[in-house]
């Protein structure tokens, strides 16, 4: 999905990069924050995005949280979900060539835009991407959590994203299949029709969402994104009332709980090398979808092509970004 969702940290003020922000008059510098000191054990155990409580690190995020209750609620629930995932999957930050704790922050000098993104790994998790974007001038922002399982598990990729702009909120929640669901009936039944301990399946969440009069389906105009979101996702929009934000974040938490049950179940473990290789093939394709997002062009106009490329590399576990500092 969209690329305008990313993380960073602030004691990392050691280098700035310049990018053109074409949406504003003239050229404006986009400040990228980098870590100065090596990460220590206590830092590694911190919840993902925990450093975003520092207003000097991400000024737009903190300002938007004060100005817009829907965004503040989205961020609070993102932190809660990340804490749950970190505890259940022993998530840890992944060092990259940008920062020792996988955290990257991008701010405009006028503090109208902050983008923060953090990456990591964990038990059965090849790559985690957690990010947030705050665009104060438009009074809106986004949150995002993507979990790419490794090839020891057959569970789907987990996507959680909420977008708040112009008085509307959209949610995208998905169990992204790592197989062809048209042909693989067993996978479809296991992960989309099977009820968890709370008494609902992922398809039950879909049906519940479809019957909600406050929500309306949201569909991308891009054929690439329609293929990714497909028929398995909860992709809905609604008026950005506190009630609807709470409702959407509740759907997200229920989906995460169900996904974690599947991830912990013994029958989701991959034991055959041929199955692991097939999953690896699908996983490479899923990573590649981020580069095909048509919104990338809009993001590049805001932050510059260099910053966009760096963020896409972080989001897709590009080999060049994994080099440690």
Model-level pTM? Answer: 0.83
pLDDT, residue 201, reads 98
Q: Is the pLDDT of residue 14 over 70?
A: no
What's the chain's Rg over C-alpha atoms? 19
CB atoms near residue 18 (< 10 Å):
13
* CATH 3.40.190.10 given to domain 31-288: no
Mean pLDDT of the region 56-60: 86
User: What are the tens digits of pLDDT across the range 63-84?
Assistant: 999 999 999 999 999 999 999 9
For the chain, which residues make up each domain, given as ranges? 31-288
Token pair for 241: 């009332």
The angle subtended at Cα 40 by Cα 36 and Cα 44, nearest 5°, is 105
Q: Is the pLDDT of residue 22 over 50?
A: no
Question: Rounded to whole angstroms, what are the CA distances from 74 to 81, 147, 164?
Answer: 11, 18, 9
Contact 17, 43 (CB under 8 A): no
């Amino acid at each position: 999905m969209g690329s305008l969702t990313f993380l960073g940290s602030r004691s990392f003020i050691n280098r700035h990069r310049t990018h053109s922000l074409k949406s504003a008059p003239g050229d404006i510098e986009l400040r990228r924050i980098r870590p100065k000191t090596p990460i220590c054990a206590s830092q590694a155990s911190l919840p993902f995005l925990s450093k975003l409580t520092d207003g000097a690190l991400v000024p737009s995020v903190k300002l938007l949280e004060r100005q817009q209750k829907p965004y503040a609620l989205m961020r609070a629930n993102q932190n809660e979900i990340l804490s749950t995932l970190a505890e259940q999957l022993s998530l840890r930050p992944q060092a990259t060539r940008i920062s020792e704790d996988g955290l990257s922050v991008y701010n405009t000098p006028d503090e109208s835009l902050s983008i923060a993104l953090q990456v990591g790994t964990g038990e059965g998790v090849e790559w985690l991407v957690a990010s947030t974007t705050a665009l104060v001038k438009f009074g809106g922002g986004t949150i995002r959590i993507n979990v790419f399982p490794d090839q020891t598990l057959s569970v789907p990729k987990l996507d959680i994203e909420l977008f708040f702009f112009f008085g509307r909120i959209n949610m995208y929640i998905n169990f992204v299949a790592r197989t062809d669901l048209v042909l693989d009936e067993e996978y479809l039944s296991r992960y989309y029709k099977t009820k968890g301990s709370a008494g609902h399946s992922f398809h039950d969440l879909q049906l519940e969402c479809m019957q909600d009069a406050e929500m309306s389906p949201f569909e991308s105009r891009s054929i690439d994104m329609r293929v990714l979101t497909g028929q398995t996702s909860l992709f809905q929009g609604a008026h950005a009332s506190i009630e609807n934000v709470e409702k959407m974040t509740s759907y997200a938490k229920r989906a995460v709980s169900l996904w974690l049950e599947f991830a912990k179940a013994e029958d989701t473990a991959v034991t055959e090398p041929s199955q692991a290789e097939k999953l690896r093939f699908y996983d490479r394709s899923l990573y590649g979808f981020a580069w095909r997002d048509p919104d990338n062009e809009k993001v590049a106009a805001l932050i510059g092509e260099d910053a966009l490329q760096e963020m896409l590399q972080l989001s897709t576990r590009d080999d060049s970004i994994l080099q440690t500092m």
